[in-house]
A and B are shown apart, each in its own frame.
Chain A
Amino acid sequence: MANNKISALIVDDDSIIRKIHKTMLERLFNIEAETVKDGKEAVELCRSGANFDIIFMDREMPIMDGAEATKQLRAMGVKSTIVGITTRAGGEDREEFLAAGSNHCFEKPLDRAKVEVVLREHKKFTI
């Protein structure tokens, strides 16, 4: 049970959001988080062998958006919990994200309550 820290990847093109979400995960939940700024970087990082328990994926990003990145990650066999984050969580974005293979889809911003919902489903999580 030595190192059961949950690992996370934050994928968002906004540097402020990356910083806020990373800090929130680390301070409130003791989750170590790496950050990248678009879907393509996320895919490449996973392809290079990096493994994450949870991937927080923003929807709208340049180069490769969240839904497309989710599709590619699933096609690669990535089993991480993928949490889609969008500015419009009801409707099309949500459908698209879930269809692409994400486990959740929340409206921005990510907050404590939403992270708790995700963690409750994750096997490593203990309160």
Chain B
Amino acid sequence: MDRNRTHSLRHLAAIKQSLFDQGHLDEQFIQLEELQDDANPNFVEEIVTLYYRDSSRLISNLDQTLERNPLDFNKLDTIMHQFKGSSSSIGAKKVKAECTLFREYCRAGNAEGCRRSFQQMKKEYAALRKKLETYFQLARQAGPLETAFRPK
């Protein structure tokens, strides 16, 4: 077996393992990978790209709505509900957790809490994006590979 490819595959496996170990991704991501096949080798990357594209609109919306005074908690909760749904569909575990927290603050009418958890959520969202970009780039370089292995 080509030594470079073996090295790439090991590196890929390590990145993926750490994404799970650090709690960035959950089981849903694996479910998505199971839908990849030779005819659609980049399915997960396509879904993730779609997610970041669509959700950026929701984030702008949240940003704007958080600038109002007083806050419209109902509206914030509605937008966040949608964002949380999308995030959980790609297995974005930490992002999803912040969304849940945000919604709790909305229900409690806690403006400061909302703003704080929104900032935290954006951090997690950006961090995940970077890590997944690296992951997919490496995956493309490594070529068709055994994606069905599960992290420990």
Q: Write the residues of chain A forming the contact surface with B, with a CB cutoff of 8 angstroms.
A: 13-17, 19-20, 23-24, 27-28, 60, 87, 108-109, 111-112
Contacts and interface: CB of A to CB of B under 8 A. Distances in A.
Sorting the interface of chain B by its residue count into under 10, 10 to 19, 20 to 34 or 35 or more gives 20 to 34
A14 B54 CA distance: 9
Majority secondary structure of chain A interface residues (helix, strand, loop or mixed):
helix
Contacts, number: 48
Interface of B: 28, 31-32, 34-35, 37, 40, 43, 47, 50-51, 54, 81-82, 84-86, 88-90
18 contacts: A13-B82, A14-B86, A15-B54, A16-B50, A16-B51, A16-B86, A17-B89, A20-B35, A20-B47, A23-B35, A23-B40, A24-B31, A24-B35, A108-B88, A108-B89, A109-B89, A111-B31, A112-B34
A48 B5 CA distance: 54
B90 to A, nearest CB: 7
B47 A16 contact: yes
Given A16-B50, A109-B28, A23 B89 contact: no
